[in-house]
Chains A and B, each alone.
Chain A
């Protein structure tokens, strides 16, 4: 039973536009959420995180929004660049535990 879901396997956007990647979760115990970027045959690299006491966190071009009532988070990339093309994984960790649950990823393609 997958507790973190990314329902869009792929997303294509034009360079300079906004990319919005979505993630849904089912476990109400999750209180820490992260986004990772991954290239083929490489390990994931951390992008941005948010704890459940916040509903927004920004870092440069990347913003994560958390809607706890809807159990939904999203990653906004503005403006999108061709170098952003990769697979993006959403992850969540339950309160009091040092374990992380990952979604199946969304492959972002930013077209020049």
Chain B
């Protein structure tokens, strides 16, 4: 049902590396989100975008950055990964309007050694 894609699914990298997590959706959604989730914890909103060239930080402080140059694409970048960044990163999008559900991608499981 959901046409929202994340790559890579799994990523293991060393400390200090720069990484970009990709997220694309083909539904034409204006609203896109990045959540971070650790086992047994709630999903924390780290970034969101309501349209092209619009990005905002979420409720959980994050050292990552995002960009929204095209409607369908919402990548997340970590300039210098650290072990504390180890987590699952989930991208989501939704239709315009309220009372509309979020569609999630499959997530990226990031491990920083």
**Interfacial residues, chain A to chain B (CB-CB below 8 A):** 2, 4, 9, 31-32, 34, 36, 41-46, 49, 51, 89, 91, 93, 95-105
Closest CB-CB distance, A1 to chain B, in whole Å?
Answer: 10
Are B104 and A98 within 8 A (Cβ)?
no
Q: Which residue of A lies closest to B104 (CB)?
A: A43
Q: In the complex, what residues of B have CB within 8 A of residue A9's CB?
A: 40
Is residue B48 contacting chain A, with contact meaning CB distance below 8 A?
yes
When A41-B109, A42-B107, A99-B48 are in contact, do A105 and B40 touch as well, CB less than 8 Å? yes
Are B104 and A44 within 8 A (Cβ)?
yes
Are A95 and B40 within 8 A (Cβ)?
no
Are A89 and B94 within 8 A (Cβ)?
no
Among B42, B88, B90: residue with most chain A CB under 10 A: B42
Q: In the complex, what residues of B have CB within 8 A of residue A99's CB?
A: 45, 48
Are A104 and B40 within 8 A (Cβ)?
yes
Cross-chain pairs A/B with CB under 8 angstroms, 29 sampled: A2-B42, A9-B40, A31-B99, A32-B98, A36-B104, A41-B88, A41-B107, A41-B109, A42-B106, A49-B99, A49-B101, A51-B99, A89-B42, A89-B43, A91-B102, A93-B98, A93-B99, A96-B98, A97-B98, A98-B31, A98-B94, A98-B98, A100-B102, A101-B42, A102-B35, A104-B40, A104-B41, A105-B40, A105-B42
